[in-house]
Amino acid sequence: MYTRGLLLLVVLPLVVTMCTGASVPEERTYAGEAKCWSGDSHLGESMKFNDNNPHLGSVGFDNTIQSVKVTGMWIFYDDPDYNSNTADSSRFFYVHGLDYSMTIPDEYKNKATSLRYAGSQHKLNDDYWSIYQGMYFAGDTLGGTNDMTDLSFLTFDAFSVILVGKTAWSFCEGVNYAGPCVCMWPDTHHDDTLFRELDLGIFPTLTSYGGILRVRSVRKGCYGKVISSSSDSGSSSSSSSRITHVSQGTEGGFGYIEKKKID
């Protein structure tokens, strides 16, 4: 017994040394992450986000962001509460990718006062849908990984959609998949050398693409009129607004809205 105990004491330090000496990637608590800096090219003060933040002023980082590094799909808003009351007049930009780094375009630097993530935080490329109260992903949101037969409890109609994953989803005006439905699917793909993947469908103005007027049920698969993602065009019903999407290789891209804002 004493011999076994002695052997255990000798072996354990060796095991610990081998584990601590190996180069082990830091384990992510969340699937998505956004690290933001106050200066260009990841210089200056920084802050990491793994969850939504409706008031960046609460952490002393509003009107500060100039460069970012993101995993997943992140949306940055001019105004607090995700442009809830100012979707028609406020700007936003979004960044997506796999450890994708960029300096924010000049006109959007030092503007973000709220930010949020789209997708599942349990697994990066899980099939996931998100619907938003306003155009351009403004206001309240609801999302999930499963079919929803009855969304009549919603207090909003849904004017924009983001999809993550590899599957198509059908969005219907009525409960139990009744009424007109539209089928959307992710058409933006990212991958990296770590064999990670991220697939997105970005619909900033749902009704501008032959869409429906409200969403009251959601179903996995394609069961309605097929419309493609708006990430590469994105004109809206307003003549003063246009979505510009920029893809920069397989690991990421970004987009922003061009609109006349009254300062």
Sign of CA dihedral 167, 81, 243, 94: negative
Q: Is the pLDDT of residue 134 over 50?
A: yes
Note the pLDDT of residue 87: 62
Please give the pLDDT value at position 244.
Answer: 80
pTM: 0.82
Give pLDDT tens digits for 27-46. 556 899 999 999 999 999 99
Residue type for 256, please?
Y
Q: Residue 12's pLDDT is what? A: 36
- Cα–Cα dist 72/70, whole Å: 6
Pull the structure tokens for residue 157: 């109609």
Rounded CA gap, 43 and 36, in Å? 10
| Structure confidence at residue 98 (pLDDT) | 97
- Residue 210 confidence (pLDDT): 62
State the DSSP H helix or E strand holding residue 169, giving kind and residue range, or none if neither: strand 169-172
* 124, pLDDT greater than 80: yes
- Tell me: pLDDT of 16 over 60: no
Q: Which fold has domain 27-259?
A: Gamma-B Crystallin; domain 1 (2.60.20)
